[in-house]
Structure 1
């Protein structure tokens, strides 16, 4: 027969076991993410949390633009946490996002309460700090280690590549002009590569999350093809590119690519195709995304614009004008709210991220079906040109130097 002491001990052990299990799960989640990517995630999330705290303290009462910014930032934290499968953090962030969503919808059961909003933000901050503490203290994977690895292995440039370059320097004859030219080109190429990252690597976390998202949507995992054309991203660009394409790739899979049965019926592969092309054009780094889905739902977008009073039913406007409505805060074509979509955040967040960094975004139609209900299109993202490094140029330079060019 169990006594009170035994029951108390059992409860304590159960609580302890539950906490240990949660910690082990969090450790497993963290270990599944590279040190560098985890560090960038913590930095990015911390920045969004600080921005939200500043917004909340600036407003004593509800403000539409403030609420939109709060929701956009928290939705991005959640999207990135889901990308890396940080389940415990995702749950906390989702609860806070729900409060912001209620404020957006002017739900009378949720009024603007500055102290409550700050308390919610503290919950998110505490959860993020818990993950960060486990990463640094328990696993020994601190920001400094991540930063150090960025210079050593994140091309980026591997330690072996650097050592090979040093060996070339050591064995080069100071009196051999062609060899000296080749050595200089090799050094320039290696130094040029330090602090850069392949676009595919920058987006690896996002593209890696697409199979589970596809399963959640009842779709087949898409084929993502990235043509970087020899361009790499400087380290300061990786975070913005990841945040932007987290929204674009998820939207492409959710809204663009059809359900498997629909695709089969029109002779398409069940798995959709998403293409990303990287180039420099008109003095800007340009990343172009396109999928083989049914296209932009112009008729649906126009209908929503009319419902919301943005457009009169009788107005004749171009497809470009209709397409631009998707950048309005709160816009969504989803018929219901899910974990993935329907909350009216996405393209406005993308444009906001890009404009902060001196970038821009546009939609470009790729067919001649003006006025159709659906039109195929590309999403063109532009960023400062200095964020791009053309490694092919470095290779060519090495060859030219070796030939005395």
Structure 2
């Protein structure tokens, strides 16, 4: 089968941007190639148009273009023309795109289109309690209406997106993101840096980082030697207009806590994995995700995770078994779970083992790639 992915991000040195969506797409693309499928990735909004190859995947970078009027429309038609040319040349069977920004609105393709719910602007606005721009909603709705089928990374994300846009439930299939588990081995899970708490993700309000600052203040009172490591790009704050959310965190940290915080910013992916290995506890108090790749990466490496309790997270972690689920606003309870783990090595080991088993069961990309292949086949037949 010949499969095409349309995306604004992909993990490659020549690609301008790569985050969680990029990782999940690459994991699937590479797994599909290993199973004998032909995969082409179209990455729009790039500095130049060129073709590169990586791990058997053909990657087409499509240059960002501006037009005198209605760039939002004419650039979409530009991408459509480029993609359709390759679809015809390579005889691509099925295309997949993300829901974010409704990039495929106004596009018509020469192959069936599947949209995966990586998280639309409407979805995140609903979870954040923010009002969405009407134009953005209409772009996303139009894009979704033109798709032949949908994939949700969690049932929760599927249900919420279906309700927001009034989609046909029967066209939505839940297929979890997956990991190449060989890349997330931790041969010595009992070796780590004591009392080190790790957060990975954008420093942005919707990820619960302001609550995390309050939580860490509570932890420090019980564990004065605890350390908090933050990894991820800083972001402006939509509520206050501040250019740095980390600056907002700094105002929240107590004097004692501030001394124990190490913000590393963005670092190479291999270094991130080393930090996961060294962490005692990983924490992701997010208010808005469709799944959360860093959660399952941490679980795969046998780390006890204290996660949000909101919808999607309940599909990743069995509370009190393979991790802890606590609502980010329950600062005292959240801090107490972290302290419990820091105080109990055997509990950390037990939860870490259960977390690894959970990931092997639900998030093995080799298993999930087969599910994707069968779903693609059902769409094109």
Q: TM-score range by the shorter chain?
A: under 0.3
Greater percentage in helix: 1
Structure number, greater radius of gyration = 1
TM-score for both structures, normalised by structure 2: 0.26
Q: So what's the TM-score if we normalise by structure 1?
A: 0.24
Tell me which protein shows more strand as a share of its residues: 2
